[in-house]
Amino acid sequence: MKYLKVAAVLTCVVLINACSQTTPDLVARLSKLQIPVVRPVAVNDSTSRPTATSLYKKNVAGINKLTALLKEQYLSNANSKDIFDVHSVSHQVYISLTNLEEASLINEQYYNENNTAGLMKLQEMLQPYAEVTG
């Protein structure tokens, strides 16, 4: 009987600890990332293409740095059980990585459309995270 009480208490402690795991600030912010949607505006291709190329490359670099940082810091010891547990940090990291992949696809689309305004909005969205990646 005493063994059952100890087992019950230990089970409760483990469950409470697992559910109370806090998500790191960076992961929490990236998991709620809102990708800006900006319609392309007709502009002179010859003058805006170098600007679009520069913005595109900066956005790619920022997205790649964030992706590498998340994978290195939070997924190096993850297992498949953690990935599917909605309360785990690993699950939140995968949501963040999905958002970054979406940002990468939007960045590519904006570049192909020569949408400088969209590329600028995307860069503004990524700017707060530049400090984290150095």
Q: What share of the chain is helix, strand, coil (3-state, %, to 5)?
A: 75, 0, 25
Distance CA(42)–CA(28), nearest Å, equals 36
Q: Which residues contact 23 (CB under 8 A, 6 or more apart)?
A: 31, 89, 92
pLDDT in tens, 4-52: 555 555 555 455 444 445 668 888 899 888 888 888 877 666 667 899 9
Delimit the domains of the chain by residue range.
23-133
Distance CA(24)–CA(111), nearest Å, equals 32
**pTM attached to this predicted model:** 0.77
pLDDT in tens, 80-125: 888 788 888 989 999 999 999 999 999 999 999 999 999 999 999 9
User: What is the enclosing helix (H) or strand (E) of 7?
Assistant: helix 2-19
Helices (H), the chain: 2-19, 25-31, 45-74, 80-84, 89-112, 116-133
Residue 75 tokens read as 């997924």
pLDDT in tens, 62-81: 999 999 999 999 888 888 88
Q: Please, are residues 114 and 49 in contact by the beta-carbon 8 Å criterion?
A: yes
